[in-house]
Structure 1
Amino acid sequence: MPGDLAVFDRQVALVGLPGDPSCLMEITSPLLIAGLCTLFERCWLDAGHRRQPTPRQYALVALLCAGLTDAAAARRLGVSERTVATEVRALMDLYGVAGRLQLGLALASTMGDLATLLPPRPGPAVIR
């Protein structure tokens, strides 16, 4: 996207260059304005998918990627299996995917090192 973009009645566009807000170009070509509007709409839609998962969702994804089952991940996080299923569904909705494999692919490029997100493993019970 350009630095700044304002379109008026889809007939006139003002485009600012990144880093120089004082430099504006006026565009009146219908073809260029249509292209700028399409570019803006695509960026707007993509921005909706850039929301970040919650810390618990990050921890859940890390546990699932580490090979834990939903039940084991639920125990580790101290939540119910239903909560795990709800969180996975929320993540799939957030990223606009239909299944866990697609979710994994969508998250692979955005979550970084999952090992740092793992909650601490519960230690052995100490009886005194």
Structure 2
Amino acid sequence: MRTRIAAVMMTVAGITGLTAAPAMAATATSEPGTTACTTVLNRPCVSPQVDGEGIVGVAQVVADPAQLTIVRVEVRTQAAWGSPWETAASAVTVRLGSAKAVTPRVTTTDLRMICATAGPALDTAKQVTTCTGPF
């Protein structure tokens, strides 16, 4: 059941994100220890880094070099199925052009999800939020 709900959530988020911002696809290069993903202009690319010591949420966004850009990333946890998602760690970066944010490490056995919001810092209507499926 969780898998079906997560699949529906990801599909809706993907459709919403693609219709909300202009799509200029490019392949992102990844640093050691990060997951490579396809980036879309002003749409965050989320990659959790999980190891034996915990989880770190990483989000990056590709933007016009002259644009003031914000990227916000959160590690969210859920203590029990159906309970609310709570933010366990977060990070925000604001800068001109492309940006990246990395959360502090979170150690938990609860269900986790990484969410990121990114886009033009001065135009919240053009900011896009994307999340991983629960894991």
TM-score normalized by the length of structure 2? 0.20
Larger radius of gyration: 1
Bigger helix fraction: 1
TM-score normalized with structure 1 length: 0.21
